[in-house]
Amino acid sequence: MQLSTVQPLKTYLETLSGVSPSLQELKVNHLPLYLRHRFSFYLVELFRTSWCLALEEVSSETASPGEYEKWAEILRPLLMAPVAFILSGLPSNARNRMVQRGTPFIVPGTQAFLPSALVDLRERFPKPRGKGRSTLSPTAQLTLLYHLQREPLSGQPLNSIAEKLHCSPMMLSKVKDEFGEAGICQVERIGRAMALKFPAADRDLWDLAQPWLASPVKKTLWVHWKTPGFYAQIAGISALSCHTMLAADKLPTYALGPQRLEFWLEQGTVTVCPDAEQATAKIEIWSYEPKLLGDPDSVDPLSLYLSLSYNADERIQQQLEQLMEEVLWSRA
> Left, alpha or beta for 202 (phi > 0: left; psi -120 to 50: alpha)?
left
Beta bridge partners of 118: 114
The kind and range of the H/E element at 55 are strand 49-56
**Distance (Å, rounded) from C-alpha 327 to C-alpha 95?**
39
pLDDT at 332 over 60: no
Say if CB 197 and CB 184 are below 8 A apart. Answer: no
pLDDT of residue 295: 87
The answer to whether the 3-120 and 138-211 domains have the same CATH topology is: no
Q: pLDDT tens digits for 198-242? A: 888 888 889 888 888 888 998 888 888 877 777 789 999 999 998
Q: How confident is the model at residue 71 (pLDDT cuts 50, 70, 90)?
A: very high
pLDDT of residue 122: 55
pLDDT of residue 148: 93
Give the CA angle between residues 249, 255, 261 to the nearest 5°: 120
Cβ neighbours for 166, distance < 8 A, ≥ 6 positions apart: 289, 292
Say if CB 152 and CB 129 are below 8 A apart. Answer: no
In one letter, which amino acid is 111?
Q
Give the CA angle between residues 313, 314, 316 to the nearest 5°: 70
3-state secondary structure of 98: helix
pLDDT at 15 over 80: no
pLDDT at 58 over 80: no
Q: pLDDT tens digits for 40-54? A: 899 988 777 888 999
On average, the pLDDT of the chain sits at 83
**Distance (Å, rounded) from C-alpha 117 to C-alpha 288?**
45
Complete DSSP assignment for 168-190: -HHHHHHHHHHHHHHTS-EEEEE
pLDDT at 3 over 70: no
pLDDT of residue 125: 42
**Distance (Å, rounded) from C-alpha 193 to C-alpha 215?**
32
- For the CA atoms of the chain, what is the radius of gyration? 22
119 vs 37: which has the higher pLDDT? 37
Task: Compute the average pLDDT of residues 298-318.
Answer: 86
**Distance (Å, rounded) from C-alpha 46 to C-alpha 186?**
45
Q: How confident is the model at residue 255 (pLDDT cuts 50, 70, 90)?
A: very high
3-state secondary structure of 118: strand
299 vs 121: which has the higher pLDDT? 299
Q: pLDDT tens digits for 166-201? A: 988 888 888 988 998 888 888 888 777 788 888 888
pLDDT of residue 329: 60
Give the CA angle between residues 9, 45, 102 to the nearest 5°: 75
Q: How confident is the model at residue 4 (pLDDT cuts 50, 70, 90)?
A: very low
**Distance (Å, rounded) from C-alpha 180 to C-alpha 156?**
16
Say if CB 233 and CB 304 are below 8 A apart. Answer: no
**Distance (Å, rounded) from C-alpha 39 to C-alpha 60?**
9
pLDDT at 114 over 60: yes
**Distance (Å, rounded) from C-alpha 241 to C-alpha 229?**
16
CATH code, 3-120: 3.40.1350
**Given strand 217-225, what is the order of strands in its sheet?**
233-234, 253-256, 281-286, 217-225, 270-273
Phi, psi for 286 (deg, rounded to 5) = -95, 155
3-state secondary structure of 256: strand
Domain boundaries, the chain: 3-120, 138-211, 217-326
Q: What topology does CATH give the domain 138-211?
A: Arc Repressor Mutant, subunit A (1.10.10)
Task: Compute the average pLDDT of residues 305-318.
Answer: 82
Q: How confident is the model at residue 92 (pLDDT cuts 50, 70, 90)?
A: confident
